[in-house]
Amino acid sequence: MHPLTTDLEDHAYLLSLFKKTGALLEGHFQLTSGLHSSRYLQCALVLQYPEHAESVGSALARRFSDHQIEAVVAPAIGGIIVAHETARALCVRALFTEREGDLMTLRRGFQLNQGERVLVVEDVVTTGGSTRETIEAVTRAGGLVVGAGSMVDRSGGAAQVGVPRESLLTLEVPAYHPSECPLCNDGTPAIKPGSRKQ
């Protein structure tokens, strides 16, 4: 576990973890959304190391240590390990939501007590959409969401989710429609990271 204690140290430490594990790639990428970007983040490559996952969880837990969190909830799949490690550091339960049709919901018999104080976490916030959907699922289940956290904020701090939000690493990652992509204009082909198809 890393012994760092300030937000700035979190940022530098997590950035070093992303680079060390090959989880932050620089180049010309086609994202799942179809947009092109010069940076690609794959949090799973950091989280595959339990000691790094533990550091991420303890750093997020510290940001919310005075919020009397009683449970941590994340959207599956990307948020599950983040929730687990954050919950471990806070000594509370870790739950996750899944899609049932179009609706994000708690399944598997997961339940929240009425008014239970919940922290929602995920790996990457881009628009905040899946955090907001998870907050709605927790609220429908009777929980009270008191904060939201992520390993990475790709919105440069812009995403709003309706509760106080913390991110360990805030990055501005511009994404372009292929027709307007400056990297395409340079003539290099975009690659799809994490996929065998190029």
Contacting positions for Zn ion (CB under 5 A): 36, 181, 183-184, 190
Q: Select 144 or 175, whichever has its Cβ closest to Zn ion.
A: 175
Q: How many CA atoms lie within 13 A of 128 on its CB side?
A: 19
CB of 99 to Zn ion, least distance (A): 29
CB of 188 to Zn ion, least distance (A): 8
CB of 185 to Zn ion, least distance (A): 8
Q: Select 39 or 93, whichever has its Cβ closest to Zn ion.
A: 39
Q: Select 36 or 84, whichever has its Cβ closest to Zn ion.
A: 36
Q: Where are the beta strands (DSSP E) in the chain?
A: 24-30, 36-41, 71-75, 93-100, 103-106, 117-125, 144-153, 165-170, 175-176
Q: Taking the CA atoms of the chain, what radius of gyration do you get in angstroms?
A: 17
| Cβ-proximal residue to Zn ion, closest one | 181
Q: Select 110 or 176, whichever has its Cβ closest to Zn ion.
A: 176
Q: Which residues of 133-168 are buried (b: 16+ CB within 10 A; e: fewer)?
A: bbbbbbeebebebbbbbbbbbbbeeebebebebbbb
The residues near 82 (Cβ < 8 Å, ≥ 6 apart) are 43, 47, 53, 56, 57, 60, 74, 121, 122, 123, 150, 151
Q: Select 146 or 183, whichever has its Cβ closest to Zn ion.
A: 183
Q: Select 114 or 185, whichever has its Cβ closest to Zn ion.
A: 185
The residues near 108 (Cβ < 8 Å, ≥ 6 apart) are none
CB of 85 to Zn ion, least distance (A): 35
CA distances from 88 to 52, 84, 103 (A): 14, 6, 28
CB of 82 to Zn ion, least distance (A): 30
CB of 28 to Zn ion, least distance (A): 6
